[in-house]
């Protein structure tokens, strides 16, 4: 069996996102930060797509200036948004809790932390129990953050986890086994997909 490397995962994710985008006009997507998504975005930027139909948000963001090294917005602009012709008015940075959202996303991209968090929904945080607000502020040791809540994520047509590296194997196995103590295991979008490389894939 051919092994799926981190680079292969980036290629697969880019192709998969492109395929999803081709099925929706407009295409409403929430991006995610991290090194694995960055590689996927760089590959995605080379596709010839109907970029003018894209409407872009972020599933979570650190409350830092948009040019800060830890900003998910900065990463996505460098890797994707500055390279493709998405109209600027269709890009919606997550800088305040009152940013306008669509009723239903076509795709919400998510990461997976070694503690089982996803977006900025962390184990034990009160944000996990939010049932009405779509975006909440979360206090973290590094930077405060804004995050989508389950009412937004689980209303999406599709949600996709991008997971790479052996350090994620154990926690991904627990998520797939529906360990409901883990925030990521509580994601229930219309379609929930895990795109993982061989190192992260449970044995």
The predicted-structure confidence for 128-183, as pLDDT tens digits, reads as follows: 999 999 999 999 998 999 999 999 999 999 999 999 999 999 999 999 999 999 99
pLDDT surpassing 50 at residue 1: no
Nearest CA to 147 out of 157, 156, 139 is that of: 139
Q: Tell me 36's DSSP state.
A: H
- CA–CA separation, 47 vs 45, rounded Å? 6
Asked whether 137 and 168 are in contact (CB, 8 A), the reply is no
For 46, phi then psi, to 5°, come to: -85, -10
Nearest CA to 193 out of 181, 180, 175 is that of: 175
First vs last Cα of the chain: how many Å apart?
A: 14
Asked whether 110 and 184 are in contact (CB, 8 A), the reply is yes
* Distances from the Cα of 135 to the Cα of 9, 98, 165, angstroms: 29, 7, 29
Region 17-21: mean pLDDT is 98
Asked whether 61 and 179 are in contact (CB, 8 A), the reply is no
Handedness of CA 66, 72, 75, 77 (dihedral sign): negative
The percent of the chain in helix, strand and coil, each rounded to the nearest 5, is 30, 20, 50
Asked whether 79 and 109 are in contact (CB, 8 A), the reply is no
pLDDT surpassing 80 at residue 202: yes
Q: What residue segments make up the domains of the chain, in order of their start?
A: 11-108+129-169
pLDDT surpassing 80 at residue 2: no
pLDDT surpassing 60 at residue 21: yes
Prediction pTM value: 0.96
Give the pLDDT confidence score for residue 3 in this predicted structure: 64
Handedness of CA 173, 176, 181, 183 (dihedral sign): positive
Model confidence over 78-122: pLDDT tens digits? 999 999 999 999 999 999 999 999 999 999 999 999 999 999 999
pLDDT surpassing 90 at residue 70: yes
Q: What is the CATH number of domain 11-108+129-169?
A: 3.40.50.1360
Model confidence over 55-69: pLDDT tens digits? 999 999 999 999 999
Give the pLDDT confidence score for residue 4 in this predicted structure: 81
């Amino acid at each position: 069996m051919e092994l799926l490397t981190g680079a292969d995962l980036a290629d697969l994710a880019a192709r998969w996102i492109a395929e999803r985008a081709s099925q929706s006009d407009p295409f409403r997507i929430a991006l995610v930060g991290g090194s694995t998504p960055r590689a996927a975005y760089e590959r995605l930027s080379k596709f010839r797509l109907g970029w003018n139909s894209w409407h872009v948000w972020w599933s979570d963001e650190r409350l830092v200036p948009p040019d800060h090294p830890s900003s998910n917005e900065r990463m996505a602009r460098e890797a994707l948004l500055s390279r493709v012709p998405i109209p600027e008015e269709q890009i919606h940075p997550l800088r305040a809790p009152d940013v306008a959202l669509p009723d239903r996303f076509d795709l919400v991209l998510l990461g997976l932390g070694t503690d089982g968090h996803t977006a900025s929904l962390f184990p034990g945080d009160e944000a996990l129990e939010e049932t009405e607000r779509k975006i909440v502020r979360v206090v973290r040791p590094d930077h405060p953050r804004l995050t989508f809540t389950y009412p937004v994520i689980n209303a999406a047509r599709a949600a996709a986890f991008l997971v790479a590296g052996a350090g994620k194997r154990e926690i991904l196995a627990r998520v797939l086994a529906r360990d409901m103590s883990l925030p990521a295991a509580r994601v229930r979008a219309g379609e929930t997909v895990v795109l993982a490389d061989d190192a992260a894939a449970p044995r």
